[in-house]
Structure 1
Amino acid sequence: MRKILVVGAGQSGLQLALGLQSHGYEVTLMSNRTADEIRTGRVMSTQCMFHTALQHERDLKLNFWESRAPRTEGLGVSVAGPGSQRVVDWVGRLDGYAQSVDQRVKMAGWLETFAQRGGQVVIHGAAVSDLDYFSRMYDLVLVSAGKGELVSMFGRDADRSPYREPQRALAVAYVHGLGPRPEHPDFDAVRCNLVPGVGELFVMPTLTTSGRADILFWEGLPGGPVDVFQGVKDPAEHLSLTLELMERYTPWEYARATKVELTDAGGTLAGRYAPTVRHPVAHLPGGGLALGVADVVVANDPVTGQGSNSAAKCAAVYLDAILEHGEKEFDEAWMQATFDRYWEIARHVTKWTNAMLGVPPEHVLNLIGAAGALPPVANRFANGFDDPSDFENFFYEPERTEAYLASATGGPADS
């Protein structure tokens, strides 16, 4: 029986560990927190997962909360103009619904499931010296802990990492009491509110520890008017700032948020990080190797909501590659080839995310504007969140955008 060590108990690490476990591998999972500590801790992300990523969970029968989590059937875009008036407002329908499950709920539940199924859980914040030791005991070491000392083992890929500094200041609040959008009260949608020169506000339904809730998520330009959450320790102050900014820049969202309250004392999160692609293989001091997983090797800004989706897709790719490899050695060539398989998916996410972090060119503004009058365009844009590779066909190049819009106005949109 092959022995595999997975370091990190997030979306990718747990999904991969549970998948390997189901195929008879002897898996050890290292987590710096227990399931109870995760469940009672602070929120970790926004994690709206679209159809393809959700299907990877279903394939492994890990969709424990699917019947309880809100079904997000649409994705809407609003653009603020002068005087905080909406100059664009539309919603596209998703081909398959999306869902968000608070990672405190999911990761705690998955970690307990892994242990109940006979997996070995080691509660320990791993250091490089630990991996050096463990690499001699295991056939494969996978690092899916996206922060801290371990990430520094994986060198930055300068050719694929255009940014050295964070491009957004991030602030999240989980709330109860948000009213429905009057435009579509009959179904749930993720709302993407773009405020030029300021940042973005995302609003999405979720399932948290206390049931149905909504997430208010500001992404502010560093040094701008939304970059005010650093050093804020009081959750109530965090929420108050969130609502003040909504009232000022997105009053249409604020109008349904006047009665919200935080879900719990751990329902806020703030931070920032530089989007980075790293080389996938770490060389340990004693000569061993470790393979980076998901955010460790491809960390994009959350402006396109791809983090947990990419993590699920990475885990699925790595699981297939490990199963196909059989009893052969997990050498550096295999590790690089496995990452390259994942990069074929991740490169589209990275390209799209980096494009959305910049000032949108005229043809992209035209596309977003046209979606308000052309439902097929709105639908296609919305479904790009599930399959970002489609943006190659109509988003990046003015000529392709113009050709697509011309075809969309003359009949059904190409897809």
Structure 2
Amino acid sequence: MSIGIVGGGIAAVHLGLALRAADVDATIYVDRDYAEMAAGPLLNTVVHHSPTVARERQLGVAHWDAAEYGYARHHHSIGGPDPLRFTGDFTHPSCAVDHRLYLPALAEDYQTRGGTIHVRAIGPRDLSALAALHDLVVIASGRGSMSGLFERRARLSPFDRPQRRICAGLYTGITRPDVEGVGVSIVPGVGELLEIPLLSRHGRVTALLFENIPGTPPAALLDRPGGTAEFTRAVLDTLRTHHPATFERVDTSAFTLTDPRDLLQGGVIPAVRRDWFEIEDGVYALALGDAHVVVDPVNGQGANIAAYSAAVVAHYCGPDVVYDELFCREVARAREAVLVGASEWTNLTLAQHPRIERVLRAAARDPQLADRFTDNFDHPDRQWEVLATDRRAERFLRDDLRALNT
């Protein structure tokens, strides 16, 4: 039995590692080698929440101990006419490592364990050739010519354009808070900022992920060339005006991008796509990672649900498995709740739905509720169950109040 994996991100390498652990032959097809990736521009500013950290331990690739490099707190803030700040703690720590360090290290582990990597661009026209080589083809790349390979699920994909203008970069000159954690700043009508302690090739730095609503003044960050004095001034002005909880810890004389390559600007169109299709002769293409579900990074879920999905796929694979339509259906059913939950919750956040602010304001008054809300970043299906409707949110608040009074 042989499985081909198209793509080189976390979903691909986690799946490859898990398949090798199960003694399943696996080949990863990636369009550039990992040495080039390591020396290239910023890929993302992702955080790995504790379920992903636990999977890394299970796979034997926990090279960065979350107890040493991670954090276990969110510093929440809401701006606007009635600002507030509060903290919420995780049960287990999360960790953020630059994927230019992370992915090459895991790819090396995969090869050491007998996995194969081919550096070549794969497009839709190559699928027939892959189907002749493998019993299952997993598509874990949703970019370029592969972006429309799987049909969008219209009900779960309400947007036809990016909902945020994203400006992500790595910076020095920001003092870390007394208790390490991620800053989550929400400004109604303007957007959000995630402030992330991240391990990079420069050591420990601060990642700033601006999620700016199109048409607002902060969205103009994307119109300024990165690494220039003009860009730095614009970032500082945005922090000063909209995200004071971060700006208070900035040394303006030392604040700068760590490197011109450490900046990523653009936007994503959130989408949930069909899980599989038949290539030919009973060989199926199974969607994974960005080829399957794309979420805006505002809630920090993308890499985590990709790793989760890879673990589900690996669970159903084995030397004696029949990789047919029934297999694809079983995988789809098993991962649906978490993936759709993450997507729906993220889309609700992008809408800045008042239900979320109501829960946050209640959490600011109740540390136990704040911890539960924060810990649900580890469990997007649970968070969606809390936030899906007003009645569910009210029950969440009511149940937490009961627990507090018993």
| Equivalent residue, structure 1, for 2:54 | 55
The residue matched to 2:290 in structure 1 has which SS? helix
Partners of 1:288 and 1:235 in 2: CA distance:
48
Change (3 A) 1:112 1:232: farther
What's 1:366 paired with?
A: 358
TM alignment of 1:98-177, pairs within 5 A: 98-177=94-173
Aligned residue among 376, 380, 389 for 1:388: 380
Task: Compute the displacement of 1:5 (Å).
Answer: 1.0
Gaps of 5+ in 2: none
Name the aligned partner's letter for residue 361 of structure 2: G
User: How many angstroms apart in 1 are the aligned matches of 2:190 and 2:33?
Assistant: 38
- 1:180-199 alignment runs, 5 A limit: 180-181=176-177, 185=178, 187-199=179-191
Which residue, out of 196, 199, 209, partners 1:204? 196
Match of 2:241 in 1: 248
Q: Structure 2: which amino acid aligns with 1:349?
A: A
Which of 78, 86, 90 matches 2:86? 90
Give 1:8 deviation, angstroms.
Answer: 0.8
Q: Matched residues in 1 for 2:22 and 2:402: separation?
A: 51
Secondary structure in 1 aligned to 2:215?
coil
The answer (yes or no) to whether the contact 1:143–1:290 under 8 Å persists in 2 is: yes
Question: Per-residue deviation at 1:285?
Answer: 7.3
1:266-277 pair list within 5 angstroms: 266-277=261-272
Relative distance call for 1:390 and 1:412 in structure 2 (3 A) is farther
Query: Does 2:293 match 1:298?
Result: yes
Residues 4 and 408 of structure 1, relative CA distance in 2, 3 Å threshold: closer
Q: How many angstroms apart in 1 are the aligned matches of 2:246 and 2:66? A: 27
Partner of 1:135, secondary structure, is helix
**Which of the residues 330, 333, 354 maps onto 1:337?**
330
Deviation string 1:311-366 (CA, Å, 9 cap, x unpaired) is 1100110000113xx424311232232122111211211121111111322x4323
Offset of 1:207 from its aligned partner?
A: 0.8
User: Which secondary structure state, in structure 2, belongs to the residue aligned with residue 136 of structure 1?
Assistant: helix
2:72 partner amino acid: E
Provide the residue aligned with 1:228 in structure 2.
220
Match of 2:260, as an amino acid? A
Checking the alignment, whether the CA contact within 8 Å between 1:69 and 1:99 is kept in structure 2 is: no
- 1:298-317 deviations in Å (ceiling 9; x for gaps): 11111111001101100110
Counterpart for residue 368 of structure 2:
376
Verify the 8 A CA contact 2:61 2:109 in the aligned structure 1.
no
Q: How many residues in Structure 1 have an aligned counterpart in Structure 2?
A: 403
Whole-angstrom CA distance in 2 between matches of 1:23 and 1:229: 47
Q: Confirm or deny: 8 A CA contact 1:407 1:413 kept in the other structure.
A: no
| Whole-angstrom distance in 1 between the partners of 2:225 and 2:137 | 36
Q: Distance in 2 between matches of 1:372 and 1:395?
A: 17
Query: Structure 1: 5+ residue runs without aligned partners?
Result: none
Q: Are 2:171 and 2:205, in contact at CA under 8 Å, matched by a contact in 1?
A: yes
TM-score by length of 1: 0.91
- CA distance in 2: counterparts of 1:413 and 1:56, whole angstroms: 36
Give runs of ≥4 in structure 1 deviating > 6 Å. Answer: none
CA distance in 1 between counterparts of 2:205 and 2:340 reads 32
TM-score, structure 2 normalization: 0.93
Where is the helix percentage greater, Structure 1 or Structure 2? 2
Secondary structure at the aligned position of 1:17 is classed as helix
